[in-house]
Amino acid sequence: MQFLAAEYPNVPIGSNAEQLIGETPADVLVVATPTPTHSRLALMGLHQGRDVFVEKPLCTDSVDARALADAARATNAALFTGFVYLHHPAFAALRSALAIENIAHLDFHWNRPALGGRPEWELLPHELAIASVLLGELPPEVSIHVGDGLCRCRWTSTSGVPIDIRLDGRTGIVKRKELVVRTTTGQVWKWTDHELVHHDQMSSERALQRATFGAAEPLRREVDWFFAHRRESDAMRHEIDRSVAITTLISEALAAAAPVRSRLH
C-alpha cells in the first residue's frame, strides 16, 4: 500500500473498496480483483451509473452474471469483460487467414505454473471466447473435467468441428500457451504465446509464414477498443451477452460434473 501511494501520489489509495468506489469521481470502474469479488464490485459500479471493465471472468455464477447484465441495461452503462486475447494481433491475423467453414479442429493447450486459482475460471474463459469467435458460436453445453490444478474441456461444434482445451495450473511446469488450428485443406496454424506460425501441411517442422508480436500490444488494443466502443449500445450488448454465456456455460458444466466427481471420491 505504501509503495502504491509513493508511486501514484495523486491517486486515492485504500483497502476499503466500497469507500474508494463511493468517494472517487470516475466515469469508469476497472475491477481487477480476486474473482469472488467481481460480481459485488461490478454491481456497485453499475448502480452508480459507471461504465465497468471487469477482468475475466465476469463472475462465477450464472444468476450473478444475469443480474450484472440487467443492471447494465437498466442504468445504460457499459459492462465489459477483459478477454484480452481477442485483441491480440496474432488472433486478428489468424481470423483474417481463416474462414469459419474451413476450420477442421481446434486444440488449445495452456500451462500457467503456480496459477493460484482454478484453471476453469482463470484460464478457460479466455479459450472459450477465442473458440466462440473463430467458430461463430458458443456451444449449448461442454464437457469439463477438473482436479489437482488441471482442467480439460471438450465439445463438438454444430458443423462437426472437435474442440479440445487442456489447462494446467500446477507448480513445476513450463509456462506456455498454444492454439493449433487445422483446416479442412490440411493447413496448420500454430499460435504460441506471441508468435503465429503457418506450417507446411507436408511437414510440421517447416514454417511457411511466421509473425511475432509485442507482449504489451494486446492490452493496449483491448483498452483502446473499450474506450472507443463503450457508448455503442450494440457493441456493448454483444460483449455482455458473450460474458454471461461463458459464465453460464462453465458454471452449468461444473454443476453437471460435480455428482460424477463425488461418486469417484
Domain boundaries defined on the chain? 2-83+222-258, 85-213
2 three-class SS: helix
Q: How far apart are CA 229 and CA 220, in angstroms?
A: 14
Residue 120 pLDDT > 50, yes or no? Answer: yes
| pLDDT value at residue 265 | 40
The pTM assigned to this predicted structure is: 0.92
Q: How far apart are CA 55 and CA 126, in angstroms?
A: 11
Average pLDDT along the chain: 92
Q: What are the pLDDT digits (tens) for 170-199?
A: 999 999 999 999 999 889 999 999 999 998
**What is the average per-residue pLDDT within 15-36?**
91
| pLDDT value at residue 206 | 67
Q: Which of 131, 138, 189 is nearest to 164 (CA)?
A: 131
| pLDDT value at residue 203 | 59
**What is the average per-residue pLDDT within 75-80?**
97
**What is the average per-residue pLDDT within 66-78?**
97
| pLDDT value at residue 7 | 87
Domain 2-83+222-258 in CATH 3.30.460.80: no
First to last CA, the chain: 43
Q: What are the pLDDT digits (tens) for 226-253?
A: 999 999 999 999 999 999 999 999 999 9
Cα 164 from chain centroid (whole Å): 16
Q: Which fold has domain 85-213?
A: Dihydrodipicolinate Reductase; domain 2 (3.30.360)
